[in-house]
Amino acid sequence: MAVDFPKTFGYPKLEEHAPFQEPPPVIITPCDPWPRPYYLEEGLRKVAPYHFTYNTYCKERWRGRELLDIFASEFRDRPAEYYKDAIERGAVVVNGKAVPTTAHIVKNGDIISHTLHRHEPPVTALPITVLHEDNDMIVINKPAGVPVHPAGRYNFNSVIEIMRAERGHQFNPLPCNRLDRLTSGVMFIAKNPKAAEKLSLEISGRTVRKEYVARVRGEFPEETVVCDKPILQVSPKLGLNRVRASGKTAKTVFKRLDYYPPTLAEEVQELSVEDSKRAEARPWMKKGGYSIVRCLPVTGRTHQLRVHLQFLGHPIGNDPIYCNQRVWGATLGANDADASQDTDEDVITRLGRMGKSEVADAVAYHDEMVDEYNKKKAEKMSGKLCEVCDTALYTDPGEQELSLWLHSLRYEDAGGKWSYVSPLPAWAMPPEGQSGATSVGGMDELVEAVKDENPEIAGVS
């Protein structure tokens, strides 16, 4: 089967192997397209669907169970009918060989291979820009919305694979620090294992300090704020964290860079909404405008900046989890260290509902704004099926699903040996018609707030 790509990007036809006629050797995917099947459309980097083989060793709980039973209960992204058909036509094999029946018993040591037609979500078409490069390291400015590693539904649409596609099949990029998919900013990509290990040791040794910028709801305090509230992961499955006394130690320094008050039109709209009874139970609605905040994480807990900003009552304005009233209720989780306002169970249940049938709204807006938000194009089930594999297809993601107003601005050695700073993102620049900061100074002011308790961050041994 040949796949055609848009002529404007000069991709040749990609010859795929005829799938399932000869079961592929175990561990080897039947198709590794090169060049990668990218094409650009409406500001998005897309990947043409392709066949791919997943290989999984038999888990202990699978031993002695029927093959179809394992797939139907463990891999629930597709119906049992799909897995039955896949086993019967040889798309699912054991140790590289087709099995005679769906009731085949899986044993310890077996390798189960599943070849399927893979559909990847689009990511932004913005380039991965290089801030610095030498013989050992590349310092990049990662665009928002692109995962670092292949994971879940993403494979070729990842920083690793995009860089490999740009530099050649033999290039093996080695990320040294991690950024969430929605977060943009400074990342280190080592060219060899020795360089990766050296920087990783520096980072783990806490002699490297980093600074982020965030765009948050309301007027953040002018004075330096140190938040040292512990953070607990309340749902590993949903990736949900919150401030809790029983959590892990966490500390962040915050300093406001600028505050931009609401426009006249927004003030009029907010006043009219505040006059309504609905607004009485929604204190976040009275937080007009937004602030650009500098963030120095002293520790490195998952979602630390997002959780601490939420607790302080100034969540990141477009955060689909921590600035979402449908998940956190009227107070958006502010000052709720003991979960007395919203229990973990309530929050987890609400977050679990958010998904492909219900657009996750970053709701730091009033009803009219939420309605407008929901009208925007967002990734959800399209109602269409793939003609090749009958997979349910999604629509393209909207802007709110490709960006979080959180940016890794700077990484530097605490002793002053090196420093890399990226430009401020567009959302952190002054809005049209208003004046404000267009750059950030040094980190001394942030470090000053914690240097006595955390001398390592000030470069003092």
Q: What residues make up the domain containing 237?
A: 214-375+430-458
93, 67 contact by CB (below 8 A): no
Asked, for residue 126, whether it belongs to a domain, the answer is: no
Looking at residue 334, its amino acid is A
- Write the pLDDT tens digit of every residue in 79-111: 889 899 999 999 999 998 999 999 999 999 999
- Mean pLDDT, range 398-427, rounded to an integer: 93
Average pLDDT (357-371) is: 38
Tell me, what's the pLDDT at 364? 36
Distance between CA 333 and CA 343 in Å, rounded? 10
Shared-domain flag, residues 218 and 114: no
CATH code, domain carrying 25? 3.10.290.10
391 falls within a domain:
no
Q: Which of 118, 133, 166 is where one domain is finished?
A: 118
Give the domain-ending residue among 118, 141, 157.
118
Asked, for residue 389, whether it belongs to a domain, the answer is no
pLDDT the model gives residue 1: 39
Residue 352, in any domain of the structure: yes
Cα(230)–Cα(53) distance, integer angstroms: 42
Residue 280 confidence class, pLDDT cut points 50, 70, 90: low
Residue 69 known to be catalytic:
no
293-303 pLDDT, tens digit per residue, is 999 999 999 99
Give the separation between CA 283 and CA 359, rounded to whole angstroms.
23
Residue 414 lies inside a defined structural domain of this protein: no
Same domain, 298 and 439: yes
- Choose, from 110, 180, 344, 390, the residue flagged as catalytic: 180
Number of domains, the chain? 2
Say if 292 falls within a structural domain: yes
Same domain, 324 and 438: yes
Domain boundary among 101, 118, 135: 118
Is 163 contained in some domain?
no
**197 belongs to a structural domain:** no
